[in-house]
Every structure is written in structure tokens, then in C-alpha cells.
Amino acid sequence: MKILVTGGAGFIGGYLVDFFLNKHKVIIYDNLSTSSQSVVDALIKKGALFIKGDILDQDTLSKSSEGFDVMIHLAAKSDVTESVSHPRIVKNINVNGTINVLNSCIKNKIKKIVFASSAAVYGDSSTAVTEKSETKPLSPYGTSKMLAENKIREMSKNNFDYTILRIFNVYGKRQNKQYAGVISNFIENISKNIPLLIYGDGSQTRDFVSINDVVNAFDAAVKTNSSGTYNIASGKSISVKELAEIFRHTSAGKIQMTYKPAKKQDIQYSIADISLAQKELKFNPKVNLKEGLSDLVSVSN
């Protein structure tokens, strides 16, 4: 197949392009606003093609996606804090940019789109969320992902199949600062021998999923011939304070913890029900969190 990956030079995109190059022809479409040319150069050496372009540029996007079978849409503004400071910019890129991607799919008769959505569409929930749970995002970023999902469902009718992957807290090597979550920040602090920063009291929970498991989810999504929305996570949660204790253990207790007031837009509790993805995509996360973290810390040292 021919696969075009918007945002293909980013954290998740780089892994996906590397993976799909073994089986398919892959083109990266990226404006390099949050990624580097060095990432692209490494992927080009492996056989990828690269087009420097913006998803807000409808003409370039449409011309670049002619003749493709699948569009994987990752390009987005994903910083929650930035979305609070600049909600219009984030909405324009994440919603209007997605509309441009969909218009390109329709114009070029692309049969499949796989969209990287987010757990941020749910907001807070004291129980595991399913794909039928109410969407009540707490941030403009979460709202933009929810609106983008709605546009995909609306514009897909009789035009293309879609798979929406609501990705929870993904972690892995080479995670860039633009996407960095609590795990990346903890690793950076450990490398600098400074205290681990916790917002609030650390009781907030997260469902962490390895980038390797996320790649497998995208692979399954590309292969499926039907449309659907799926949670991509581990199905297990851990508190931020418990996470910090794991990292402290890896440093023999030498690293301390420091606290700051919680951010208003931060989700307090987050855990996914992944049974639908397990059933329909045959998605089964394989990377244990402690093993994954151990691997990351050993790489950073």
C-alpha cells in the first residue's frame, strides 16, 4: 500500500513510518514545526519519502496525497497548556487542518483514514471509560480532538472508512518536548539530578501505554476494513506519586520530589476500558510499565 503520514516526523509518527516502511511505500508530510530534519533524514535513508507541508495548506496537501491508499493523520498541536494560552490557534490546526485532510481523502478517493485522537476527549472519570462514555474535555486541546472526531464521522459517509484511536498516555524513547508527559519530564529531571516535579498531591492517575503497543494498534487499524473508535491504552492506572516512587527506586532514593499547585486543565483520574480494541482490533498491550520504564531510564543514564 501507499501510506501518507501527516506529522510523520514527530514522536509517534517517526515510529510508525519506521514500522510501515518494512511493508509499504510511506511518505512523511510534516511542516517540521515540532520535529527535526535529522529525524526525517534518518527515515529517508530507510526508504521514506518526505514532503515539507502544512495541513492548513489545502492545495499542497491535496496534491501530495494523490494516489494513496491510506492516510494516517497525526499532525496536530498536542500541548494542553498551549491550548489554554492559544485556543484559537490550536483549534484552527487540529480541527480545520483535519477538515483539509478529509477533503484531500475525498478528492483523491483515499479509502482509509486512521486518526490519532486522545484520552483528553473524556475529561475526568472515576471509572474506566469506554468508547461510549460521555465526552467532556477539560481543555481546548481535548475539545479540538473531539470536534475533529465529529468531522471525521460526518464527512466519512460513503467516502472512506475511518479508525479513530483515542490514545492515552503514551511513552517511549525519543519523546520530544512538545509531546512530553510526566514520564519524559521525570526522566529529564533524573538526568539532571533535580527533584521530580509533581503538580497537586500526586493522587491523579494515568493510564500509560508504550509506543511499541501504540504502533501495533495503528498496524491493526490500517488492516481493518470497517470504521470505528477505540481506546488505546494499557487498561491499568497508576498515580503520579506511585510513578515518582518507581523512578526514585531506580535512583536508589537519591532523587527527591517537589510539589506545585495542580493545573486547572489537568485530568484527575484516567483509565481506559480497552475491551473493544481487544475484540475488534485484536489489540493486546504487551509492554509492562515497570519494564518499559526500566528500559527508558537505562537509556537516559
**Which residues carry out catalysis?**
141
CA torsion 275→281→287→288, rounded to 10°?
0
Read off the C-alpha cell for 182: 510526566
Read off the C-alpha cell for 175: 519523546
- Mark out the alpha helices in 48-207 (DSSP H runs): 58-64, 80-85, 87-91, 97-107, 140-156, 182-192
For the packed helices 140-156 and 97-107, what is the interaxial angle rounded to 10 degrees?
A: 20
Q: Which helix (H) or strand (E) holds 73?
A: strand 70-73
- Beta carbons of 100 and 32 less than 8 angstroms apart: no
Task: For residue 66, give the DSSP letter.
Answer: T
Coil/strand/helix, residue 144: helix
- Beta carbons of 230 and 217 less than 8 angstroms apart: yes
For 288, other C-beta atoms within 10 Å of its C-beta total: 12
